[in-house]
Structure 1
């Protein structure tokens, strides 16, 4: 297992540079990155823009994967796209250091001013309680890379019900730098597609092009449950949706668009 997903390199020309470890590698192809590490790194870059504005909280994260992200050095930067006192949008992007300079991944985040609405708070679902884990955590057992850096505890569910997995990051994101709870969630939430897999990965490839996360409550802790279900259309396009929980209850939802292809 790698020590962290990324190792920090010297900054240059307004970009932060990072070496990508094997711990970022996708279960589909070990030469490209899984979506969760880039989502977490770009989320971290966005949060660093707002260290002096603690009244703002992320209500939505949207990752768009614009190209294959190599397990290689990358550079990232973030900026405020839409400033505001109560509502603001920030954007972060990732590019490869070598080869083409095009954007490989982009995260946009809506940040909103928090206020006291405790007397009006509602949860759509009751909290989930973790039970005994299944022996088969997922359909990619033995795949090296990102899956080795996450604790993946698949729960026993009845036939026809959405799949549920409790997940926790096992390594830091960048060297030994501290993590926020939002970054911890970002390190696992892109895995909803694998949790809710509706197809056999030995017969089909179903890679997500994006991950949209909506959070009505700030995540807390290091353990998160994804209750996910995939839907596959008749023309090679699918969608995975998930409900997201921490130890204290339901915190939000995610959705992913899937490209579905048969394995040759």
Structure 2
């Protein structure tokens, strides 16, 4: 135990050489072991350090109380506790989080992705690839895409545009991750489209519907005909701009 430090020894004119050597050894032992012990040393001075052998923590005396300064030990302990029985924290997180940051839920990470079934091809641009057939219902705007075989694979992105012509669907991605070495593309779960509901009353009109409420290429008005609604028509152009229209319930 390294707590044999004595603040009053050696004493000038009192301590003899036969005692001095042991006192010095005790003091050196206390210094190099940080006064290790199961309990804090008595009568501490500000700045003293003490290694708590029971809790495996380094403490420092601030003049009033002992403070835990062994932050690294507590962080290490937290990591050990967080990983549970897994070999590492990374392995533990793989149970619930996919590589792209999405939650895996109760299904394995691979179940979140579906591989394309039609022939595909690289079109010479880092943000595009094409696939045979009309795949517009598959590669919807915002849908997550996973590419294997490319640099740093797997790489992830999302669909920003899709076009169909000449029996081929061209998919444009947000990120430039496409290359000629890519293997079959995989797509994630579908993205739901949520439209803002606008309060309407039969016989009145609303000027709340603008192109800012929906994507410019997907603007639509839906009317529930159960209340006697027969049509939704444009009444007049608003003065705020060409994209603003007044719609009426007839």
User: TM-score range, shorter-chain basis?
Assistant: under 0.3
Greater C-alpha Rg: 2
Q: TM-score, normalised on structure 2?
A: 0.22
Q: TM-score, normalised on structure 1?
A: 0.21
* Structure number having the greater strand percentage: 1
Higher relative contact order (CA 8 A, sep 6+): 1
